[in-house]
Amino acid sequence: MMPWLRPGYVRVQEGQVDTGMRPEREAKMSTPETEQITGEQLLRDPKRNKGTAFTERERDALGVRGLLPPRVFSQEEQQYRILENLRRKNTSLEKYVFLTGLQDRNEAAFYQTVITNIEEILPIIYTPTVGEACQEFARIFRRPRGMFVSAADRGRIATLLRNWPRPHVAVVVVTDGERILGLGDLGANGMGIPVGKLSLYTACAGIHPSACLPVMLDVGTENTALRKDPLYFGLDQPRLRGAEYEDLVEEFVTAVNEVFPGALIQFEDFATRNAVRLLEKYRDRICMFNDDIQGTAAVTLAGLLSAARITGQALREQKIVFLGAGSAATGIANLIVAALGQDGVDEATARARCWFVDSKGLVVKSRDDLAEHKRPYAHDHEFLPDLQTTVAELRPTTLVGVSGQPGTFTQPVLRMMAEANERPIVFALSNPTSKSECTAEQAYRWTDGRAVFASGSPFDPVELDGRRHVPGQGNNAYVFPGIGLGVVVAGARHVTREMFLAAARVLEGEVTQTSLDEGSVYPPFNRIRDVSAAIAAEVVRVACAGGLATKQVPDDVLGHVRAQMYDANYESYV
3-state percent helix, strand, coil for the chain, nearest multiple of 5? 50, 10, 40
d(CA 95, CA 98): 5
Q: Which of 9, 96, 126, 201 is catalytic?
A: 126
In this structure, are residues 293 and 275 in contact, taking their beta carbons and an 8 Å threshold?
yes
In this structure, are residues 162 and 205 in contact, taking their beta carbons and an 8 Å threshold?
no
Nearest alpha-carbon partner for 241 in 264, 221, 267, 212: 221
Nearest alpha-carbon partner for 173 in 102, 256, 296, 234: 256
Q: Quote the crossing angle between the two packed helices 497-509 and 528-545, to the nearest 10°.
A: 140
d(CA 321, CA 309): 19
Active site residue 444: no
d(CA 44, CA 52): 13
Nearest alpha-carbon partner for 226 in 106, 134, 296: 134
List of residues 6+ apart from 14 with CB closer than 8 A: none
Report the 10 Å Cβ neighbour count for 267: 25
Positive or negative torsion for Cα 375, 377, 380, 384:
negative
In this structure, are residues 427 and 474 in contact, taking their beta carbons and an 8 Å threshold?
yes
d(CA 150, CA 147): 10
Active site residue 80: no
Report the 10 Å Cβ neighbour count for 379: 15
Q: Which of 9, 50, 95, 197 is catalytic?
A: 197
The CA dihedral of 449, 452, 458, 462, to the nearest 10 degrees, is 20
According to DSSP, the β-strands at 320-323 and 288-290 are unpaired
Angle, CA of 29, 489 and 113, to the nearest 5° = 80
What amino acid positions are annotated as catalytic residues?
126, 197
